Amino acid sequence: MSGTGARWFAFVESNTTGTGRDFCAAARARGLRPVLLTRDPGRYGYVAEDGVDTVVLDTSDADAVYEECAALARGAGLAGVTSSSEYYVVTAARTAAKLGLPAPDADAVARCRAKDVQRALLADAGVPVPRFAAVGEVADAVAAAEDIGHPVVLKPVSGSGSVGVKLCRDRAETTRWARELLGRATDERGAPVSSRILVEAAVEGPEFSVETFDDHVVTVVGKHLGPEPYFVETGHDVPAPAGPAALAALGDTARAALAALGLGWGAAHTELRLSASGPVVIEVNPRLAGGMIPVAVRAATGRDLVDEVIAGAAGQDAPAAGPGAGHAAIRFLLATGTAQDPERRVSAVEGLERAAAAPRVVAAATTGSATIGRTLRVTHSFQDRLACVVATGGSGEEAERHALDAARLIRIGFQQQAAPQALDGEGVGGR
């Protein structure tokens, strides 16, 4: 690694939906030297493109991560440790705390990462959550579903990006999906998974997320989802198109959930459904939102949450908010088809420059899934998102129109075109 005299800022792995790059850029802008601790630097295209220093090690080994960070601290000095990946926020928090650096409560983060534990804590505190059961056997999943009442949602007790989340409408679907989930030994990162899953009541109503920082509501985001029985997020609106009373209720419920979980330091991303009886917490994520939401928040409100995360973790002053456009929209270009379709290899990416230059566009990028040469199979999760556009407008409708128009300019080519409609823009997530 090259020496510049600046203190290190360590990232334990990275997310793959765009803002991982922004985290490193924010650290550099603060005069720090970003270094990525990772098992596979090639997983993140921006690392080579931006010349980010890397240390290759087994990031599932918390002791190895700590020892490396301690070595960085003994050298040029270490300003902070964090992660933009859901899977490594606990390791980052524990490492930072052991080194005397600012961090959230690692035990609270760990409790939050286990969705069954999180749900129990929220329910005990009176925070509205779906009726649920945590089970480890297929028969128990079926029994829980019949007790709760179909339709139900089955999901892993840990994970991110809608991986493994599915609506099951009857006993047969519940049996099949419980068997599928309980038969998985590793997650999409190759890490071992729990032998338990969640069975929960399906909550009717639009979905939102509340973005908080240090227990304060920054904004409420409206979410667009793909077709059931899956829950792939196809777009986001900042701020959410909802009335003042609904926005206030969503924010208050999210803050109550953070208090029940012992969170409140730094960023959190709380997902909720607005049911007929009020907000229901689906899950609390003890981290900054992914899916380019921070980019849209910055464009709409002027708050740079990525830089605020870096500032907090480095013990530096938070940035002042800048001007915002008022409204921003994110729309994704999605791979289409089914999990049974043949694998396809990404052969071309076209139109990114045109999309980036389109009116009111502030960001246009492909995800890690659309790397040329990568083999792609539909997973009905965040991994199906191939590209995204973030655009602004004077209203939510205007921002959405700009985002959709630009996203349709992006074309992803495959060697084996099992789903050619994705090339024509029909895989663009809208309303």
pTM, two decimals, is 0.92
Residue 3, pLDDT score: 45
Residue 191, pLDDT score: 67
Q: How far apart are CA 90 and CA 110, in angstroms?
A: 6
Residue 7, pLDDT score: 97
Least Cα distance to 198 among 159, 253, 250, 254 occurs for 159
**Following DSSP, what letter does each residue of 283-342 receive, concatenated?**
EEESS---TTHHHHHHHHH---HHHHHHHHHHT-PPPPP----SEEEEEEEE--S-TTSP
Instruction: Give the strands of the sheet with 152-156, arranged side by side.
Output: 132-135, 197-201, 152-156, 166-168
Residue 422, pLDDT score: 39
Residue 161, pLDDT score: 67
Residue 382, pLDDT score: 85
Residue 297, pLDDT score: 98
Catalytic, out of 113, 119, 287, 331: 287
* Amino acid identity at 156: P
**Known catalytic residue at 287:** yes
Q: How far apart are CA 216 and CA 414, in angstroms?
A: 44
Walking along the chain (431 residues) 10 residues at a time, the average pLDDT comes out as 74 85 96 97 90 97 98 96 94 98 97 95 98 97 98 89 91 97 76 85 98 96 95 96 98 98 96 98 95 95 98 97 97 84 87 97 88 85 91 98 97 68 52 54
Q: Are strands 33-38 and 53-56 parallel, antiparallel or unpaired?
A: parallel
375 by DSSP, 3-state: which? strand
Q: Where are the beta strands (DSSP E) in 264-314?
A: 267-275, 278-285
Least Cα distance to 223 among 300, 383, 330, 367 occurs for 330
In this predicted model, what pLDDT tens digit does every residue of 6-31 receive, in sequence order?
899 999 999 876 688 999 999 999 99
